[in-house]
Amino acid sequence: MIRLLVVDDSALLRRLMRQIFEAEADFELAFARDGIEALEQLHGFKPDVVTLDLTMPRMDGLECLDRIMVERPSRVVMLSSLTAAGAEETLEAMALGAVDFVLKPAGALSLALAEFAPRVVETVRRAAGARLRASARLAERLRARAASLPPPVPVPRLHAAALAGERGFAESPAEGLVLVGTSTGGPAALDVLLAGLPADFPWPVVIAQHMPATFTGPLARRLDRQCALRVTEVSGPQPLRPGQAYIGRGDADLLVGRRAGGLVALAAPSDPAHRWHPSVDRMVDSALGVLPPAALIGVLMTGMGYDGAAAMGRLHAGGGRTIAEAESSAVVWGMPGALAQSGAASAVLPLPRIAPRLLEWLA
């Protein structure tokens, strides 16, 4: 049984959540009307997952989440509104340790039941299987862990099990791209990855993060404030420059093309042939269409499913380099696990070691 604590000040939404989860056979439910009641339930009910509203009286969702992660770290799914303010608060919640988020229904809750119910059930089930130790205050803890590691250069070659099967590579070409794919747990993981790269990083970093369109702009602005690279959202054609990172607009796909001036990032309508968007597979395949595999490095980090594993497998087979995040640091080892288990990962590394490996390869 999955013990689920629903925290929301709306009686209608609590009633809707009860209706949804009582229809499932493997959930035990408890409810709270605000953050104070949630904290009272935390130790007695001992939930496996908490769904947490952001806007509540007495104690709001962010304050409650902060207390949860101190008092009894738990897998938390935020219930977010599809607004700019809701996106900013949700990203703050992810930094505090929330595992995932789900968008509240727009308009009448009862009318949105058919669409909302399967989405919230899938998200809560996914959260129940997430690694709590990797999600609670992920960015803060992994930054501290990375700071305690030896300097990234020089890094001994072929000395760890994570490097098993890694091939030797020729010197990296001057023109190239780092292609990053991630999903559940991705915002905090991107925070750690990009914070480890200097302002003069020699290749552009192109990122497909599964996320709605309302959230990718705030995510890019948040990361831009927190790292040395310049980070922007790709909503139209943009030239790809060293020292910059580019995040694909949510609910669309991110493609790499070539124009007279050089490489460009393009926003394209989402392709229904791909399940997740922005599609990592489609991004990587587009890059393979304009650059040789040796000029590409694929990085697949935490996320549910398998998006990116097939295209990064093709990149690896052509002589390119790939990194899969290790299971020990991933919130959900779905996407990187699919790459690692296929044998197409040049290296399998915990998150704090990925940026040093990129610096080593491109030194």
Every domain range in the chain assigned CATH 3.40.50.2300: 2-129
Q: Would residue 307 show up in a list of annotated catalytic residues for this protein?
A: yes
Question: Which band of pLDDT confidence, cut at 50, 70 and 90, is reported for residue 174?
Answer: confident
Cβ atoms < 10 Å from Cβ of 64? 27
Mean pLDDT in residue range 278-302 = 98
Q: Would residue 316 show up in a list of annotated catalytic residues for this protein?
A: no
Residue 143 has pLDDT above 60, yes or no: no
Both structure tokens of 96: 């505090």
pLDDT of residue 105: 79
Q: Would residue 183 show up in a list of annotated catalytic residues for this protein?
A: yes
Higher pLDDT pick, 83 / 271? 271
266 forms beta bridges with 255
For residue 309, what is the DSSP state?
Answer: H
- Taking the C-alpha atoms of residue 126 and residue 31, their distance in angstroms, rounded to an integer, is 20
Find the length of the chain: 363
Residue 239 has pLDDT above 80, yes or no: yes
Both structure tokens of 42: 């935390």
Residue 358 has pLDDT above 80, yes or no: yes
- In the set 9, 307, 316, 329, the catalytic residue is 307
Both structure tokens of 357: 């490996």
- Taking the C-alpha atoms of residue 151 and residue 171, their distance in angstroms, rounded to an integer, is 22
pLDDT of residue 158: 34
Every domain range in the chain assigned CATH 3.40.50.180: 138-362
- Taking the C-alpha atoms of residue 288 and residue 295, their distance in angstroms, rounded to an integer, is 9
Q: Give the fold, CATH level 3, of 138-362.
A: Rossmann fold (3.40.50)
pTM of the model: 0.85
- In the set 183, 279, 286, 346, the catalytic residue is 183
Residue 164 has pLDDT above 70, yes or no: no
Residue 62 has pLDDT above 70, yes or no: yes
Both structure tokens of 228: 């040395």
CATH 3.40.1410.10, domain 2-129, yes or no: no
Mean pLDDT in residue range 251-263 = 93
pLDDT of residue 2: 97
